[in-house]
Amino acid sequence: MSNTIELIREEALASILDVNSSDALVEWRSRFIGRKGAVNGLFNTIGTLPRDERAAFGQRVNALQSKLTEAYDKREALIRQRALAMDLEDGDIDISLPAHPRPKGGLHPSTRTHREFQKIWADMGFHVYQSFDVEEDDFNFTLLNLPPHHPARDMQDTFYTANPKVLLRTHTSPGQIRAMRELGAGGSQPIRVILPGMCYRQEQVTARSEIQFTQVEGLAIGRNIRMSDLKGTIAEFAKRIYNPNAKVRYRASYFPFTEPSMEVDVECFLCDGEGCRVCKYTGWLEIAGSGMVHPTVLRNGGYDPNVWSGFAFGMGPERITMLKHGIQDIRYFWGNDLRFLKQF
């Protein structure tokens, strides 16, 4: 019996060298590895062998089958290649014809801006901390110094789930608490992170505001972090994302989770501060809300506010993407209109 296996192998491997057309290849296949071919014939004889020989025999037939299948695949490739070479030689194939263009996907404009942000912040030592889109009320509000019934909760109209304690985050700030608790090691380690992600607000959709938008939150916690660190860091970011001469100004503001709080404006780069429609003739564009992390928030994150301090900011990258590309309507971002998306 083992002899038969050898014979079939030799015959098959020798005869395939004479196979030079796809017809001959089909014939070869059915003769050796087809349903009624020689290899299957061997499998069919297994039942007639003494029991203790069957396993070893089966293994050898299997090996033969893979060997012949491999030979078949190689020969098929060779024949196809030869046919192609011949067509080329005869001029049956015109290789100067332009190829069919394949539609290619691209990165969403928001993704591009996010990557640019991430790169700049990474260069300044901030790594990305990914937080949740679906949040607990406590994290989105209460732990950020916005207890129930606090009037500032109305600043952000919220999408609640069926469970009133669970909502879609209205800003990326709840990630501040999560980052402090997870990375702070019980309030013993400094942190420098950005928290990018989608936010949701139940608002009237207009050309300027959407019910979903992205934010990039920043958080730095350390032992001697001061307001001047916040100002210097944001000014440096503005220089890197807009231009090396970008002028920045700070306005006193209010957020329950920072004290003091300030809003950051950059000189309008469309009119160089002269005043235009985009900056509403003020010469300035608002780029961030920010401030020193409120002691209550530090405590909720596990830090002792007598020892630790920090700054936080929140930016809206869509604004920047719109300005950069002259996009007039924020509804394009999530409208999934390929005519828009294809332009990037």
Q: Which residues bind ligand PHE (CB under 6 A)?
A: 171, 173, 217, 255, 258, 289-291, 312-314
Q: Compare residues 290 and 300 and give the one whose CB is closer to ligand PHE.
A: 290
Distance CA 206, CA 125 (A): 36
Supply the angle between the helices 38-45 and 2-15 in degrees, to the nearest 10. 170
Query: Shortest distance, CB of residue 339 to ligand PHE, whole angstroms?
Result: 31
Three-state SS for 59? Answer: helix
Q: Are strands 127-128 and 248-255 parallel, antiparallel or unpaired?
A: unpaired
Query: Shortest distance, CB of residue 171 to ligand PHE, whole angstroms?
Result: 3
Distance CA 310, CA 222 (A): 6
The arrangement of strands across the sheet holding 212-222 comes to 127-128, 191-200, 212-222, 309-315, 284-293, 258-267, 248-255
Query: Shortest distance, CB of residue 123 to ligand PHE, whole angstroms?
Result: 21
Query: Shortest distance, CB of residue 255 to ligand PHE, whole angstroms?
Result: 4
Determine the longest span between alpha carbons in the chain, in angstroms: 98
Q: Compare residues 268 and 315 and give the one whose CB is closer to ligand PHE.
A: 315
Type of residue found at 21: S
Which position's Cβ is nearest ligand PHE?
A: 314
Q: Compare residues 75 and 169 and give the one whose CB is closer to ligand PHE.
A: 169
Query: Shortest distance, CB of residue 316 to ligand PHE, whole angstroms?
Result: 8
Tokens coding 142: 């209460």
Query: Shortest distance, CB of residue 159 to ligand PHE, whole angstroms?
Result: 15
Q: Compare residues 42 and 179 and give the one whose CB is closer to ligand PHE.
A: 179
Q: Compare residues 290 and 309 and give the one whose CB is closer to ligand PHE.
A: 290
Tokens coding 198: 């989608």
Q: Compare residues 39 and 297 and give the one whose CB is closer to ligand PHE.
A: 297
Nearest of 118, 103, 104, 108 to residue 344 by alpha carbon:
108
Distance CA 67, CA 40 (A): 14
